[in-house]
């Protein structure tokens, strides 16, 4: 994680639409909108009091939690349930449909083979043999490598579909998280019509 503070941990690239880049890890944190306004991406920073201890949160868990909360808030405030996940260059990476926001996922019989198969989820899978956590239920379509171009065009022209802009690297990261999680679902839950299904977590596993 990178702190946004006065000791110059962030630098600005001299471009027309100036990007805010972390000097330490070179990650794009946001961009300057005007001389008085800087936009930060919610998936790239955590803002909290310096007096509090800083928790170590696995990256995949953090991305899922932040984006899940954002989808729930947007669907509640704007009554929209379909989203285009796109990069800062407006390239669409994922079409996502929120089905419900109050699912409870219970997983048992955890096996170490999943940790080897999905190293990105290692921190989550180290929990006890049976656990439960809050999640949302979504359908999604990958749109990389010219996939689903016709559907993307339809969703782009539909005013009920809300765009959600993230750094391009984070869009790919989210797609990887969704794909790996989907592959771990029972076959009866993997697909609905032409969409793939997933249950991104809202919070950490909370007990046996």
More confident residue, 33 or 157: 157
Angle 43-132-178 from CA coordinates, rounded to 5°: 40
The answer to whether residue 155 is domain-embedded is yes
Residue 154 lies inside a defined structural domain of this protein? yes
Name, of 4-8, 39-43, 192-196, the range with top average pLDDT.
39-43
Angle at 82 between CA 81 and CA 87, to 5 degrees: 130
Is 85 a domain residue?
yes
pLDDT tens figures, 140-152 = 899 988 888 999 9
Residue 56 pLDDT: 76
94 falls within a domain: yes
pLDDT beyond 70 at 109: no
Examine residue 127 and state whether it is found in any structural domain, yes or no.
no
Identify the residue with better confidence: 201 or 162.
162
SS3 track for 140-167? EEECCCCCCHHHHHHHHCCCCEEEEECC
**Mean pLDDT over each residue of the chain, to the nearest integer:** 75
- Is there a domain that residue 173 lies in? yes
Determine the Cα–Cα distance for residues 180 and 177; give it in Å rounded to an integer.
5
Return the bridge partners of 28, or none.
Answer: 21
Confidence of residue 128 (pLDDT cuts 50, 70, 90): very low
Residue 33 domain-assigned? no
Overall domain count for the chain: 1
Cβ 162 vs Cβ 82: under 8 Å = yes
In a domain, 44, yes or no: no
- State residue 5's pLDDT score: 46
Confirm whether pTM is higher than 0.85.
no
Range of the domain at 87: 59-107+132-182
Q: With 70 as the cut, is the pLDDT of residue 7 above it?
A: no
Structure confidence at residue 201 (pLDDT)? 66
């Amino acid at each position: 994680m990178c702190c946004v503070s006065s000791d110059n941990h962030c630098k600005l690239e001299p471009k027309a639409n100036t990007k805010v880049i972390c000097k330490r890890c070179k990650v794009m944190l946001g961009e300057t909108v005007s001389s008085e306004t800087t936009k930060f991406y919610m998936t790239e920073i955590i803002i909290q009091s310096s007096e509090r201890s800083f928790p170590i949160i696995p990256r995949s868990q953090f991305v899922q939690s932040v984006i899940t909360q954002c989808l729930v808030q947007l669907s509640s405030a704007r009554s929209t349930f379909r989203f285009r996940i796109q990069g800062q260059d407006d390239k669409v990476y994922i079409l996502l449909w929120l089905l419900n926001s109050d699912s409870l996922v219970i997983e048992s019989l955890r096996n170490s083979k999943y940790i080897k198969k999905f190293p990105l989820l290692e921190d989550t899978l180290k929990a006890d043999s049976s656990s439960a956590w809050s999640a949302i239920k979504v359908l999604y379509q990958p749109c990389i490598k010219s996939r689903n171009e016709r559907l993307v065009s339809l969703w782009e022209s539909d005013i009920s579909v809300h765009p959600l802009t993230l750094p391009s690297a984070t869009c790919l990261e989210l797609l990887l998280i969704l794909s790996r999680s989907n592959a771990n679902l029972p076959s009866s839950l993997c697909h609905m019509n032409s969409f793939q299904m997933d249950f991104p977590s809202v919070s950490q596993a909370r007990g046996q």
